[in-house]
Chains A and B, each alone.
Chain A
């Protein structure tokens, strides 16, 4: 079943095109890894999915509904940095995932106590219970990202967007974070888009790996053309591009078929 449908997106900043003719269908529960060279519009694409920016042309629909023009609770996000609130303790960062949606941005009385109990349970599960009362600045990079992911998930989004979430972590911590993310996904099925520079990570975690690149290139003016999706790999099947599979046996990814 198609959850996210991207139709003919163009995005340019002023005269500078970033993305051209980007179309994509993503089924509910899929994990999409997005790779590509620096500056090829991966993060721009993520911001469009988040609805932090509007495309110059084209449309994105989620569940058949066009995006509303600003981020909301259906799409969670984890950035490479600055994802957690520095002025809140680790536990209150999780509580904020529930409290921020209230009129005053926080919970009071019994609701707060209940949210704190749930937050403590979450922290127990993700192995951060021992630092519940510390501030994020006192945590290591890996712990901060674990907290950021748990915070995003506490709002129970249907779609999780990850913008190079493990880019600043050392290789060992990164492996732990992969296992952590895989476990979380088994517990709560959701659709994930992850931008990464690490190809191995992209294929390890993703169901599909899509590649952004420029199909037209003017050596005298590298910024003349935008990027588009050049490859769409089935990461669960030896990394064969769907385009090739379609050519060979006529099969295609279920979500790649036009929505009925």
Chain B
């Protein structure tokens, strides 16, 4: 059963079609990769799903319910967590307090929120820095804090917006490991936007490719990577998919 369905989702900013009739569905328990060149509308799709921007046309369904006109905080409450590409830690709070603030979405007591926060921080390998101010974390830690905050709201579906961008190779493997665990151990469905081919190819069950706001291909990673339109618009015409599949 599909947990999230976008039905002809459209967003125009004045005359610009940022998202142009995109339809896709995310199946429960899968990792769906969303790819596309810069400016193709990936983050805008995320912003439409959790209602940062009002939808111009089309609909968003979550578990069969229409959530197109709900408020951002209601979307988080019904079980869609998200991370931000440009990380947004609550800088003057400690790492633990950041995650606790998120955990209060499902917990009402201080002790309950704290135990959820500690559990999630351990999951994201952040337990050693839990008492640091979030603003003092290096970028790798901040990216993981984004994931931790989203997880602490106990989502059924998590939207990851370039959580691997700007990481060094070691941090990259750590991030891939965590995202895998999110699906395999926590059973949370993942919709991931990513530019790093290694990440998207290793993690995704299926890939949805867009360019200029419109769908250009969808299918298994191998299938999409061989699609001539995708290669032309995104990967570059001299891209050889075999180089990247066995990572």
Question: Do A and B originate from a single complex?
Answer: no
Interface residues of A, Cβ cutoff 8 Å to B: none
**Could you list which residues of chain B lie within 8 angstroms of chain A, going by C-beta atoms?**
none
